Structure 1
Amino acid sequence: MRLRTFHAISATVITSYAAIHIANHLAALGGTATHIAFMEAARSVYRIRFVDAVLLACVLFQVLSGLWLVARGWRQRRGTVSWLQAVAGTYLAFFLVVHVSAVLFGRLSLGLDTNFYFAAAGFQVRPFQLFFAPYYLLGVLALFTHLGCAAYWRAKSSGRSSPFLFIALPVAVGSLVSLVIVLLLAGVFYRAEIPPEYRAIYVPRA
């Protein structure tokens, strides 16, 4: 129970950041300039060294504690919601590890600003979109689904009626949000010109 409590606290920190991060992606509906302006304003808070370190520590703890909870309760897991929560959490752990590692690599090793262009470049160089489209789609959906399952258990334990609504609504919203983000990055709403330094990540040098 203590591990679950800390897992929930860490999840709150990560979810707060994820909400800003998703809003940042959706701001791209107004164009890349709007996205970057939103990002610069948000970075004035989450790029503070202490905040950045806390976020990274929470991600590491969330992944390790989440996988431990899934593995420990594997044989005792019963019911659709329980399995949905485990599957969504496991994919979310994978997504967090890959996503954070890629961003750190882009920032520290490649010296790139990990903005809209960093995310969109993989969608516009074949065949990498075959990986990035489902990767982002499932990543955002897994976040909403995992949070919905947690809300379901809380609602059920408090005796609220129709606890499945606490899953259905986040899944519906998550499906829409993830689809919009993928379509934005894929250039469906408008075609963003990707700077060559970002395309070079995926184009092998001669």
Structure 2
Amino acid sequence: MRPSALLRIMTVIFTLMATWFFTHTYFNRTGKTISIQGFLGFSSRTINEKNSRNKCDNSKKCPKDFFAFKITSGTANVVGPSICFEDNILMSGVKNNIGRGLNIALVDGITGVLKEHKFFDMFSGDINTLLTFLKEIPESTLVLVASFDDPGSKLNPEARKLLTALGSAYAESIGFRDSWVFLGAKDIKGKSPFEEFLKNNPEQNKYDGWPEAMRVEGCIPRKMI
């Protein structure tokens, strides 16, 4: 037998003996068995927690009688906004129902059922259609808004007043290429706690000509008034 072949055989035998010794010694001392999950540091509880998810992929689970939502504004003029409500994507680029300007979804504040969704081009001047839309919002309706590209160029004082009445604290300030997300209600009293706004500032913008995208998520009780 060649020396190289003999060396390979001895190496295999040594490896098998070392493996047996380690296994025998470990199990005799600890009385435990090792699973693949345990060896990698995962327990069944950890795996279950990782597999479980909250509605709309929110960071927190909403209690009973609360609606889960997430609104994300568009990123510059490249990635469109997204509006999720009770784990249902109401508006997004994938659904092909968004556009530059203001993207608005109306949801029944009691049942959580989608009533209507529409986008309004605030650069080209879709202001009259927006005014009619805002004036006809029924009572007990949740209003979810996400900006994309330019939400404020053609917003006039009347439109700003109507948005302010829905609970917005920033409607009066929205301008060219600002980032804005908002959830309000037709019959809300006071200002909504669900609003994020970032002004277009060439010296601070994350993208060339646009600020970074805004996002707001949370839990809202049925019929927020």
TM-score range, shorter-chain basis?
A: under 0.3
More helix by share: 1
TM-score computed with the length of structure 1 as normaliser: 0.24
Higher RCO by CA contacts (8 Å cutoff, separation 6 or greater): 1
TM-score computed with the length of structure 2 as normaliser: 0.22
